[in-house]
Amino acid sequence: MGSTVETYPVAGMTCGHCASSVSAGLEAVPGVCQVDVDLPSGNVRVTSAEPLTTDLVRAAVEGAGFSLAD
């Protein structure tokens, strides 16, 4: 079974601490294998064992104090 890779825009990340918080929140989601944050673009690439719902990703990002960008 292959993995799924999705990229999400996250609003409000301005520093390494922000990126770490978002990464930790997403890594706590069951099935997430890897999280790569690109701070300059504000994008987060999430690799997971199974496809994740946007609502699940949104909840994890919001739990870290940020939001998905529109």
Does the predicted model carry a pTM greater than 0.85? yes
CATH number, domain of 46, equals 3.30.70.100
Q: pLDDT tens across 12-44, in order?
A: 999 999 999 999 999 999 999 999 999 999 999
Which residues are bridge partners to 9 per DSSP?
A: 43
Predicted local distance difference test score (pLDDT) of residue 47: 98
Only one residue has tokens 């199974």, namely: 50
How large is the average pLDDT for residues 59-66? 97
C-alpha to C-alpha distance for 26 and 59, rounded to whole angstroms: 9
Average pLDDT, the chain: 95
Structural domain for 32, as ranges: 4-68
Predicted local distance difference test score (pLDDT) of residue 70: 76
Only one residue has tokens 């301005």, namely: 14
Is pLDDT at 1 greater than 90 in this prediction?
A: no
Q: For the chain, what is the domain count?
A: 1
